[in-house]
Structure formats: structure tokens, C-alpha cells
Amino acid sequence: MLSKEDLFKEYLDSKKLKFTAERQAILDRVFANYKHFEADELLVDLRQNKLKISKATIYRTLSLLVKCGLLREVIFGERHTHYEPVYGHEHHDHMVCNDCGMIIEFVENRIERLQDEVCKKNNFEPESHRLQIQGLCAVCRKKDIGALQITGKKFPSVEV
Amino acid sequence: MLSKEDLFKEYLDSKKLKFTAERQAILDRVFANYKHFEADELLVDLRQNKLKISKATIYRTLSLLVKCGLLREVIFGERHTHYEPVYGHEHHDHMVCNDCGMIIEFVENRIERLQDEVCKKNNFEPESHRLQIQGLCAVCRKKDIGALQITGKKFPSVEV
DNA sequence: ATGGGTGCAAATGCTTTGCAAGTAC
DNA sequence: GTACTTGCAAAGCATTTGCACCCAT
């Protein structure tokens, strides 16, 4: 299997793009930390590593990494995009707590299989997918049940 | 079961908000057409129906409709939000074609059931979810396979 | 008269882009 | 040498917000 660097290089080559120091640095930092991140966090991380790369270049490079399949975009319902490494990590989906924002990752192969089935049925060729469950995590759930009992509210207090 | 209007009124009441002519109009138009829409499309639709309601009010009202569960937000990976009616429509998920943008809706109860199972396992209380499969629809698939054969490309031409 | 509602225009905040100068191949 | 790249600042765009005026109760 190609290393992530080789894969990136091959993609760049195929588009007649260049493997520059900036792209190298971003690739490195993105995979140095596991977990989701947003563009701004990457900027900070780069600065902390004495790498001065402009926001524009960050956005441009992230877009390339998504296109070649090394990253995927995850949107948690906020106005900005999160990214997460794909290479070397098992595919998973997310549960997002509406109260505290906690993110739980989960793997459920049976869901994946059913998706493939649905795609086949519709003659659709899947490339990627995202499944996201919004709700309340165990902690906030306890908190919220208490609150609802006290206030007698009918609609939960989900102020997202 | 409450009508959508009653449900909205009850929600507004519970928050000490008022059921104004604008909110009425938006509720009506949103449910007059089935299918997803974005804020701007709703604005046009309102204008065509001789209803002059400002963008600000549209956004404010859509947000209320989402909060009371009559609408849900669907994000197709573009920078703007799509909404779709929940009330009176069976829950479904989406396949989005990366090439032509076509949207296929599908219902798969077995996936829903597995989701519930995963939530239970994590002591997570689901409120909503979205599952979205990106890929190529039958038509674009044929187109693309042809193109790949001709150009010998290794990476698909997904310029989203 | 009071608390919420509306429209307008300005502000926000993430992301993209035009441009001039730099750099990889 | 010739594209492709970069950084900067400006532009874009969907969405939100401040504010003055309006309306329903």
C-alpha cells in the first residue's frame, strides 16, 4: 500500500501539481495528530511548529487532501468545516451531543453493508458517506431529564 | 395528532413568542411544496406569492421551525443549508451525486434500527440523524467510466 | 405601555480569489 | 523558461445582529 506521502505525490502528479514544502508540512502536521480539526486549529498547530503558512494555502491544501482521499470533511452543523484523516484509520461515524458538543465515534459494519445494498439497488456508486446522530450524551441526558422534570417543559432546551 | 400549525403555535406559546402573519406565511409556503429548499428559494417563493418578508425574518423563522421539529436541516456539503419538511413525511436519507448533484431519497428501516442499537449501547439519546452517501448516480457513472477509459486517469474527476 | 417582531443595513466569520512576486521542475 | 504556488489583502456569501420603529395584548 502506498504511504500517504506517495499517495499525495501521485495525486499531485496526475494533476500536474507540485509537491512543495508547504504541502509537505501540512501533510505532516495533519497526520501527526489523530482526530478532527478545523482549518484554524491547523494554523495554530503549524505556528507552534514554527511553520508560517498562510491561511489561503492551508485551505488550498486541505482541499487537495480531501480530493485525493487522504482527508474527509465532517460537518457537525456548525458554520465551519472539520476535517479528519482517512488514511490509516478505520472508517467510523459520529454521535454529537447537542448539549455539550461531545463527539463519540462508532463503527458499525452492518450499517455499512446495508448502505452498499441500498446503493446497488439504486445503481449508485458510493464514494463516501457520512452518518451523524445528534442527541444527548449520557451525562447531558441525566442533566436534562432533571431539568425537564423541574420546569415541566415539553420541548427540550436544545439551543444549538 | 396536532396539525403542523397547532404544533408551531404550541411551541411559540411555550416560549412566549407570537404567531405573527409572517410566521404563518412562512409555515404555509414551506409546507405547500414538498422537497428540500434553501433560504433564498423560500424568499423567491414568498415573493411570487406576493409576500414581502425580509431575509432576516426568514432565517429567524426557519430556525424556530427547526427547533420545534417541523423542519430539519440537511447539509449537502455546500456552504449553505437546505431545509426539508419533517411533518407528514416519512424519514429518509439521501444519496447525492457528485457530478450532477442529483438527490435520491431512500428509506432503510434496518439502518435506523441499527442506529438505535448503537445509541443504546453508548447510552446516547438520539434526537435526529443524517446519513448521506456521496457518489455517482447511474447516469454520471456511465459517463465517467467512459471518460476514465479514454483518459486513462486514475483519480476520478470529482471537482465539487 | 410593554415585550416581542420586523426590516434594513451593517457586521460576522469562514472560505475563496485576484494579483504580484517567488519557486519547482 | 514556464507553469504552478504563495502570501496578502480584498472579496464573497450565507447567516446573524443591532437598532429604530411597529404591533398585539
In this structure, the answer to whether residues A77 and A136 fall within a common structural domain is no
- The whole-number pLDDT of residue A92 equals 87
* pLDDT average, residue stretch A146-156: 48
Structural contact between residues A128 and B76, judged by C-beta atoms closer than 8 angstroms: no
Residue A79's domain comprises 1-89
In this structure, the answer to whether residues A26 and A66 fall within a common structural domain is yes
B50, three cell numbers:
406576493
Report the length, in residues, of chain B. 160
> Which of the residue ranges A8-12, A127-131, B30-34 has the most confident prediction, judged by mean pLDDT?
A8-12
- The whole-number pLDDT of residue A153 equals 46
Distance CA A140, CA B105 (A): 32
B132 vs A149, residue with greater confidence: B132
Structural contact between residues A23 and A67, judged by C-beta atoms closer than 8 angstroms: no
Give the rounded distance of the alpha carbon of A96 from its chain centre: 12
Residue A117 lies in a domain: yes
Which nucleotides on chain D have any atom < 7 A from a protein Cβ?
3-9, 13-18, 24-25
* pLDDT average, residue stretch B127-154: 72
- The whole-number pLDDT of residue B111 equals 93
* pLDDT average, residue stretch B23-27: 96
- Residue B141 in this model has a pLDDT that exceeds 90: no
A44 CA → D12 C1’, Å: 25
Out of B33, B67, B89, a domain closes at: B89
- Residue B24 in this model has a pLDDT that exceeds 50: yes
A121 vs B144, residue with greater confidence: A121
Q: Please tell me the pTM assigned to this model.
A: 0.77
Q: Which of B96, B129, B157 to mutate to test the interface with A (most CBs of A within 10 A)?
A: B129
Residue type, A73: E
Structural contact between residues A11 and B155, judged by C-beta atoms closer than 8 angstroms: yes
Q: Which of A14, A133, A141 to mutate to test the interface with B (most CBs of B within 10 A)?
A: A133
Give the rounded distance of the alpha carbon of B143 from its chain centre: 28
In this structure, the answer to whether residues B4 and B78 fall within a common structural domain is yes
Residue B141 lies in a domain: yes
Distance CA B35, CA B46 (A): 16
- The whole-number pLDDT of residue A151 equals 45
- The whole-number pLDDT of residue B31 equals 92
Quick one: pLDDT band at residue B50, thresholds 50, 70, 90?
Answer: very high
Quick one: pLDDT band at residue A150, thresholds 50, 70, 90?
Answer: very low
In this structure, the answer to whether residues B119 and B138 fall within a common structural domain is yes
Quick one: pLDDT band at residue A147, thresholds 50, 70, 90?
Answer: low
Out of B89, B107, B132, a domain closes at: B89
- Residue B151 in this model has a pLDDT that exceeds 70: no
Q: How many angstroms away from the CA of A10 is the closest CA of chain B?
A: 10
What mean pLDDT value characterizes chain A? 84
In this structure, the answer to whether residues B84 and B15 fall within a common structural domain is yes
In this structure, the answer to whether residues A70 and A1 fall within a common structural domain is yes
- Residue B53 in this model has a pLDDT that exceeds 60: yes
- Residue A149 in this model has a pLDDT that exceeds 90: no
* pLDDT average, residue stretch B44-60: 94
* pLDDT average, residue stretch A129-158: 67
Q: B125-136 and B93-97 as β-strands: parallel, antiparallel, unpaired?
A: parallel
Write the CATH number for A69. 1.10.10.10
- Residue B76 in this model has a pLDDT that exceeds 80: no
Residue of B106, B129, B133 lying closest to A132 (CB–CB): B129
Q: Residue B10: its chain A contacts at CB < 8 A? A: 154
Total structural domains in chain A?
Answer: 2
Out of B66, B89, B112, a domain closes at: B89
- Residue B92 in this model has a pLDDT that exceeds 80: yes
In this structure, the answer to whether residues A73 and A83 fall within a common structural domain is yes
In this structure, the answer to whether residues A85 and A9 fall within a common structural domain is yes
pLDDT in tens, A43-93: 999 999 999 999 999 999 999 999 988 998 886 667 788 898 887 777 888
Residue B160 lies in a domain: no
Residue A159 lies in a domain: no
Distance CA A59, CA A73 (A): 12
In this structure, the answer to whether residues A65 and A125 fall within a common structural domain is no
